[in-house]
Structure 1
Amino acid sequence: MDDHCDGRPAAPGDTMYVAGMRLTLEQVEAFVLAARHGSFSAAARSMGRSQSTVSTAIANLEIALDTELFDRSSRFPQLTAAGAALLQEAEALYNRGIEFERHGDALASGQPTRITVAVGVPHRQVTPVFARFAGKYPHVDLTIQNPANGDVASLVMQDEALLGVTFAIPRYPEEIAFRQMGRLVIAHVVHRSHPLAAIPRPSFEDMRDFRHLAYTAHAQTLPTTEYLQSTQTWFSDSYQSLIHLALAGVGWATVPRQLVLDEIASGELVELDMGAYPFTDWSVNVDVLWRRGRRFPPVEEWLRLQLCRHRVHEVGRFS
């Protein structure tokens, strides 16, 4: 049967006409596939439907839109000007319908709707894992928490976060299992106009004379913190707050170097070259945490394994 021999739109007075008819996704799919394949019969094969079903679906869509989408005067239907104008929107509806079906399939298969991960390290370090997750599980939403006081372990223990990524602490609670992801360097930085910036290799005594800007959770757990004393110490639960204070010249800040690479490269911030430790990086382990004994369904287990396998490392240290 030729494509042009059936499926013509009915006139308003004919019995096929229904005022106010609403379009359906099957009609939109038939329109898109007929335009894509160049014939109603090819669209029918793609959809697993009969040609008459596809022709009728397109005809009813034309009735609903009150416009002809195809010129059927030749052997193979050709898009009309109106059909060409509507095709892009129809393709968007068609693609959205496919995503809707896939979302439903994902829910039916038991996929979670949302996963929460607590991240207490520079986010650029774990963004590649989250990007892969978005591609593999597009219908599972991710909540990324930046916990106050850097207390990632507590959020994981209390089931407020499924997984956590954090700077290591000396001892985790017994309920926490962990895997090391790598190490990051902790830098001490000041604004270029700060007096410490003019000292080539400041000593601990030099630094004690100026205000220290410290991250609350790690103020007493970083290497040799017993020597990093100051006559004044300001604490913050936010690294960004510490960086802004350092940029304002308020004091010297202890922050992950990864967060201030641009400011160091521009010269706005100066990294202090500690005289007492000229050859030692102030580095701290980064761990991924989960609750010990917890059973992970496939989606959650995929994310846990990806984080465990992901290597955290310094990027652009000398840029």
Structure 2
Amino acid sequence: MSKNAASPRDVLTPDSLALLQGIADAGSFAAAARAAGMVPSALGYRVRQIEDALDVLLFDRSSRQASLTAAGHELLREGARLLAEVDAIANRVRRVATGWESQFTLALDGIIDRRTVFELCEQFFALKPPTRLRLRDETLSGTLAALSSGQADLALGVVAEASTVVSLQTRPLGSLRFVFAVAPHHPLAHAPEPLSDDVLGQHRAVAVADSVPRGGGLTLGLLAGQEVLTVPGMPDKLQAQLRGLGAGFLPECLARPYIESGRLVEKRVERAERVVHVAYAWRKTPEAVRGKALQWWLQQLESKVTRQALVGERITPSR
């Protein structure tokens, strides 16, 4: 490091981290400079300042593409975590001052009924709170990961076991029955029932990708060696199966209208009926210091009718 080089604290600012991420996303210094409204030489100088302060190379300049080095990848990964923590600190400070979170983020698993969520959002905004709402689409263990990493304040539809996470509190949300369904023109639509795993394994499955950012995540209902079409969310899985691109299990509440209209065919399988129990979860905080937005959402979830609607259960009138 040169004697005149800035210190890491001088250069590792939110703007600098955003600039580095912009280069990584654009794939070149020239494209990133255009997007940032800078001349390439000025952008290159900023990057060299950061590299000098850290005494590392962040980008491989041996080709026209701006490829991150291992150190660059690590900086952006840790930088994203630091920026999230800065946002969390600002959120906590505002909560202390006003009682309301400046931003409240909900992590929503793909099985959660979006219409019910938006109805709740309407009710929340009717209070005219000074809180911005943010909704995150997640799947399987990614729903819990968003909460435990601090990227969400409340998670709806936690499938993974969250009770072992000491820092979280959970409550049951409901149960979803899954049915095996295929398009009428799919070969399995006319196969003898119940379908064995040997028969299922000969046909492509449609699976939803786990949204957890690192690691393999969860995989449900797939057979060893089976061809798989992986899609980003439950609505995409439904569309793929309606088109006959594959087969698989769908939440009954999602599949039932299409089964009744003849666009999907429900098939019995040999394996045990699949019922998934889901929960909602939030980070442990004493009730006295909970933000007003979290208090409001938790209060809504105390309603059995609301919980049933969120998981698409058929609501039965109480006696």
- Whole-Å separation in 2 of the counterparts to 1:109 and 1:170: 34
Change in CA separation of 1:129 and 1:268 when aligned onto 2, cut-off 3 Å: same
Gaps of 5+ in 2: 1-96, 212-216
Pairing partner for 1:305 from 292, 295, 299: 299
Q: Mean alpha-carbon deviation: is it higher for 162-171 or for 187-196?
A: 162-171
Query: Following TM superposition, by how much is the alpha carbon of 1:265 offset from its aligned partner in structure 2, in angstroms?
Result: 2.4
Change in CA separation of 1:132 and 1:216 when aligned onto 2, cut-off 3 Å: same
- Whole-Å separation in 2 of the counterparts to 1:241 and 1:251: 12
Partner-residue secondary structure (3-state), 2:147:
helix
Change in CA separation of 1:128 and 1:184 when aligned onto 2, cut-off 3 Å: farther
Q: Number of matched residues?
A: 206
Q: Which residue number corresponds to residue 135 of structure 1? A: 126
TM-score normalised by structure 1 residue count: 0.55
User: Are residues 1:115 and 2:104 paired?
Assistant: yes
Change in CA separation of 1:208 and 1:215 when aligned onto 2, cut-off 3 Å: same
Partner-residue secondary structure (3-state), 1:260:
helix
Q: Which residue number corresponds to residue 179 of structure 1? A: 171
User: Are residues 1:202 and 2:195 paired?
Assistant: yes
Partner-residue secondary structure (3-state), 1:254:
strand
- Whole-Å separation in 1 of the counterparts to 2:275 and 2:202: 24
Change in CA separation of 1:111 and 1:261 when aligned onto 2, cut-off 3 Å: same
- Whole-Å separation in 1 of the counterparts to 2:198 and 2:179: 18
Q: Deviations over 1:83-122 (max 9, x none)?
A: xxxxxxxxxxxxxxxxxxxxxxxxx954334321111033
Change in CA separation of 1:126 and 1:273 when aligned onto 2, cut-off 3 Å: farther
TM-score normalised by structure 2 residue count: 0.55
User: Are residues 1:274 and 2:269 paired?
Assistant: yes
CA-based RMSD of the aligned residues comes to: 3.2
Counterpart mapping for 1:65-76 below 5 A: none
Whichever residue aligns with residue 133 of structure 1, its letter is F
Gaps of 5+ in 1: 1-107
Whichever residue aligns with residue 203 of structure 1, its letter is S
Q: Report if aligned partners of 1:188, 1:252 keep a CA contact under 8 Å in 2.
A: yes
Query: Following TM superposition, by how much is the alpha carbon of 1:285 offset from its aligned partner in structure 2, in angstroms?
Result: 1.3
Runs of 4+ in 1 over 6 A off after TM superposition: none
Pairing partner for 2:251 from 246, 251, 256: 256
- Whole-Å separation in 2 of the counterparts to 1:273 and 1:127: 34
Q: Which residue number corresponds to residue 87 of structure 2? A: none
Query: Following TM superposition, by how much is the alpha carbon of 1:283 offset from its aligned partner in structure 2, in angstroms?
Result: 1.4
Q: Deviations over 1:127-166 (max 9, x none)?
A: 4543432334465432111136651122112222110112
Whichever residue aligns with residue 239 of structure 1, its letter is M
